[in-house]
Structure 1
């Protein structure tokens, strides 16, 4: 009978913990990833822990450069597993992802074994009988000896546990996405010539997506899902500090503020975490002691990779280096155009205008000046016949009101002579 004293001294303290598992708890995930240089928050650590216990793939979605690919690499590092990576791209088919037959090798073996094939069929008397004899040897030429495994099949048939990274799955076509469903659900791959290959060791599968297109519900249903976004300022500062960039804490704090302001701009590609780390190392190598406008302008291309984005970011450099600074007018005038008066161009002082003469007050009622009032004058202008003959440019005849014209009968006839008659 074995007593507790007979137990070996190196027995695990907690017998409920399976020694075959990679992580004992969520805190264990955070601690071991931190030792590997990858800082995870509570949600991400919980997702990784559940992946190892539930044998479920993990789908990480989010903008480029937030650490999705690095998570799979760090998972392989902390668990001691080999990393198998499938980089997805448009137009990729199953022969580049699952497996491919080595037809050249098959043909070579056929040439070498030609004489042997002749011996197999030499005692046959009919063609159907010879075909049956050759067909019985299909398993020789369609076996794993002639099968070229691609990343998916390699991860399934690996003799040791691996981490399978399916990177940027959103770039692949929907046809390849459908091929993945069997592997993600059953950890197996069906090969028509051979049969179904089941994984001896279930891999840790990590899929990443930059959201360039929506993934199918069938794929998402098979995975633990997590959206990774840019971290908050404090966590990003901790990430920079963990990478030993050589930048002081004060400058690193200011750099994180600048990067977060750049991400608020309408850029084609916002600075990623890895690019922020590269920027910190760049500033440390240059021996920068202050993030001035000149320093930011000369090193901005480290994190901004498109010409349009760079032009826009450069316009914001004064505000990035000093939040209270006023961005200078690119025209150099310091003011807009189209003002009527009161400014100069390129002069220190505006020219002085001569004083205007005093204006005479307008008096509407002239009764005080001894004449008719303004109201009476305006009323008189509304009376008919108030203008003389010169106003109308003609001489008036007796009995005619001023300004009227007389038209002779002949002139009227000529005026209507050319008028077209309406057809009946």
Structure 2
């Protein structure tokens, strides 16, 4: 079983910089078989942590994207009605006689959705239940039951028990408060924006060979932008996109033309771009004067 240090090294090799607390929390997911709730602002790497854990463990990642109105049926399974109708039609044309319910509601017509897929995996997958805060209370209650029993009932087929217990990661942007019952069921880790040093390390890990000056200037600029009351503060993904966009334009430092040309990579709302304009002008001036932007 990997130690927290092993996980940190494996994550870094895949371009993810995990601090001690996150590495320990992920290790406990594997060791204790308990779900982990990763909560924090959008864009801090919660989803990527689950993806990287799956790659590190050499197992499948199964992702359930939550949304308003998601119900248990949609997350578990559906019947392939189109194929069932074709089967009925073929039976009629072939003179095969009546088709029974057992024929129609059998495994070959069952379309497994993420939760059923996770239960039926031979090797424990990483089950990512993404943005669980976007689902409603009824779905949250269903999740509690599933996480306790690890079995589901398909009325036409009977009870299906988990072959192995998945490594479960739930993420939340805290758009609403989750129930105390769900929190008690899980381990918990608050994921914050990385420090400047951590984010600079992330840029170098994900963009090998990036110019050091450019990497520092972009990192410092993003941290300056996050200090503003933006509607959508830039996440780590935006930092990487911005740096990659500048690299693609052969930039080796941050300047006013480069900022204007690539602003859409880091700020995704027009209102934010207008609000940040004075700060961005100041960042460009600092860079031109030879000082690190945002320092």
TM-score bracket, shorter-length normalisation? 0.7 to 0.9
Between Structure 1 and Structure 2, the one with more helix by share is: 2
Superposition deviation, residue 108 in structure 1: 5.0
3-state SS of paired residue (2:254): coil
Q: What does residue 110 of structure 2 align with?
A: 147
Number of aligned residues: 285
Structure 1 CA distance for aligned equivalents of residues 211 and 287 of structure 2: 23
Q: What does residue 92 of structure 1 align with?
A: 70
Structure 1 CA distance for aligned equivalents of residues 19 and 66 of structure 2: 28
Q: What does residue 184 of structure 2 align with?
A: 221
Superposition deviation, residue 31 in structure 1: 1.5
Structure 2 CA distance for aligned equivalents of residues 47 and 200 of structure 1: 24
**How is 1:11-50 mapped onto 2 (pairs within 5 angstroms)?**
21=1, 23=2, 25-50=3-28
Structure 2 CA distance for aligned equivalents of residues 201 and 249 of structure 1: 45
Is 1:77 paired with 2:40? Answer: no
Q: What does residue 54 of structure 1 align with?
A: 32
Superposition deviation, residue 76 in structure 1: 1.2
Is the 8 Å Cα contact of residues 76 and 162 (structure 1) preserved in structure 2?
yes
Residue by residue over 1:69-112, the C-alpha shift from the partner in whole angstroms, topping out at 9 and shown as x without a partner, is 11111111111111111111222222321112334444555562
Superposition deviation, residue 55 in structure 1: 0.6
Is 1:170 paired with 2:148? Answer: no
Q: What does residue 230 of structure 1 align with?
A: 193
Residue by residue over 1:161-184, the C-alpha shift from the partner in whole angstroms, topping out at 9 and shown as x without a partner, is 321111111122222222212222
Structure 1 CA distance for aligned equivalents of residues 216 and 175 of structure 2: 32
Per the normalisation by structure 1, the TM-score is 0.62
Which runs of 5 or more structure 2 residues have no equivalent in the other structure?
289-295
User: Larger C-alpha radius of gyration, 1 or 2?
Assistant: 1
Residue by residue over 1:5-27, the C-alpha shift from the partner in whole angstroms, topping out at 9 and shown as x without a partner, is xxxxxxxxxxxxxxxx4x2x221
**How is 1:20-419 mapped onto 2 (pairs within 5 angstroms)?**
21=1, 23=2, 25-109=3-87, 112=91, 116-117=97-98, 139-244=102-207, 246-322=209-285
Residue by residue over 1:265-313, the C-alpha shift from the partner in whole angstroms, topping out at 9 and shown as x without a partner, is 0100011111111111222222324323343233222100100000111
Is the 8 Å Cα contact of residues 217 and 253 (structure 2) preserved in structure 1?
no
Q: What does residue 379 of structure 1 align with?
A: none
Is the 8 Å Cα contact of residues 247 and 283 (structure 1) preserved in structure 2?
no
Query: What RMSD, in angstroms, separates the aligned Cα atoms of the two structures?
Result: 2.4
Deviates more, 1:171-180 or 1:302-311: 171-180
Structure 1 CA distance for aligned equivalents of residues 48 and 252 of structure 2: 31
Structure 2 CA distance for aligned equivalents of residues 35 and 324 of structure 1: 31
Which runs of 5 or more structure 1 residues have no equivalent in the other structure?
1-20, 119-136, 326-424
Is the 8 Å Cα contact of residues 255 and 287 (structure 2) preserved in structure 1?
no
3-state SS of paired residue (1:316): helix
Per the normalisation by structure 2, the TM-score is 0.87
Aligned structure 1 segments of 4 or more residues deviating by more than 6 angstroms = none
Alpha-carbon spacing, 1:247–1:324, altered in 2? closer, same or farther (3 Å): closer
Is the 8 Å Cα contact of residues 88 and 172 (structure 1) preserved in structure 2?
yes
